[in-house]
Structure 1
Amino acid sequence: MKKSILSIAIFAITLISLTETNAQEFKDLDKSPMDAASYPSSYKISDKVVKVTYGRPQLKGRALSKLAPVDEVWRTGANEAPEITFYKDVVFGGKAVKAGTYTLFTIPKTEGDWVVILSTAKNVWGSYFYKEDQDVVRVPGTVSTSDKNIEAFSMIFSDDMTLKMGWANTVVSVSIQ
């Protein structure tokens, strides 16, 4: 009887110590953490129209053109390409888009509008697997300049539901209705 109680006690202590060891193996914070923006942006409103989830790379003294190459399809952030979900049918940059989840890509330009792409691709790392035949729409993203330097790539929805993507001194906007 004493042997079985001792065996159970040793087993329980071993199990508890293993659980504690495994619970402490969390990874460090990602260099380009994930973030999300939605419209309406208030957490008090659960009936969203749109939500985008994306990685937030940092400039760290590098040029925007080095991180988002001009005239090349860019993942529009870091790590996985961002996914944008429309919970209702919308007009994105002047083109009708059905409710659903899409991947967001851009093509940066040195002058004029950037190209903003919604794709049917899902769970895509970067833009390495981008395929033009998966495009749903391509629309112009209006470029403006920010007075402030935006160190970490950021996305927001303005009060009129315009998607704004900012990094360095560049802000790219796409209207959503």
Structure 2
Amino acid sequence: MKKLLSLSLFIAVIAFSNEANAQKFSGLDKSPMDMASYPTDYKVSEKVVRIIYGRPQLKNRSLAELAPIGQVWRTGANEAAEITFYKDVNFGGKDVKAGTYSLFTIPGEEEWTVILNNNLNQWGSYFYDESGDVARITVPNGSDASSLEEFSIAFDNMDNGTKMVMGWDKTRVAVPITF
């Protein structure tokens, strides 16, 4: 009886382990998810801001084709970017409470509109609802001599805070964040 019970247990373990091995996993995303934070060190207790976003690539396409001028853009790829402030901040001149927000932008020729929105977990900007906006600011559209193939976000030190710099192709857009 003991041998029969052991054999049954062995067969059950083999059956479940085969199911685990048969699991299908998706390949790498064409626009991988990335994260940027300030400060950039690993002391989570001192974080002021963190952003999670998808990183689309130009792949011989134009920036205007992927982030059309005058249209609400998810600010990256796939899901709308999400930005978390761990303390109250001033975001480009607007006071914003600590919390997590969706980040949208409206690209322009001379300036970009940058939007923080209360509605989270959105795919793209298809269901963007302006009534959820917490802050809407405009910042100058700058440029750089070097081109970025992948959309990127980084933070750069400034007096009393940081600048969130978004770059793609030769376009650079910076939003001051003070705290």
TM bucket, shorter chain = over 0.9
Which residue pairs with 2:147 in the alignment? 149
Structure 2 unaligned segments of length 5 or more: list them. Answer: none
TM-score (norm 1): 0.92
Amino acid at match of 2:136: R
Q: Distance in 2 between matches of 1:14 and 1:92?
A: 55
- Matching residue within 111, 115, 118 for 1:117: 115
CA-to-aligned-CA distance 1:109-152 (integer Å, 9 cap, x gap): 12x11111111111111111111111111111222111111000
Distance in 1 between residues matched to 2:131 and 2:6, nearest whole Å:
67
Partner of 1:60: 59
CA RMSD, 1 decimal? 1.4
1:3 CA displacement: 4.1
1:44 Cα offset (Å): 4.1
Instruction: For residue 83 of structure 2, give the secondary structure of its aligned residue in structure 1.
Output: strand
**What is the alpha-carbon distance in structure 2 between the residues aligned to residue 9 and residue 158 of structure 1?**
58
- After superposition, residues 25-174 of structure 1 pair within 5 angstroms as 25-44=24-43, 46-110=45-109, 112-160=110-158, 161-174=162-175
State percent identity of aligned pairs: 54
CA contact (8 A) 1:50 1:87 kept: yes
Which letter maps to 2:138?
A: P
The two structures have a TM-score, normalised by structure 2, of 0.91
Q: Give the strand-richer structure, 1 or 2.
A: 2
Question: Residues 51 and 84 of structure 2 are in contact (CA less than 8 Å); yes or no, is this contact kept in structure 1?
Answer: yes
What is the CA–CA distance in structure 2 between the aligned matches of 1:9 and 1:130, rounded to whole Å?
A: 53
Q: Distance in 2 between matches of 1:12 and 1:84?
A: 44
Unaligned runs of 5+ residues in structure 1 are none
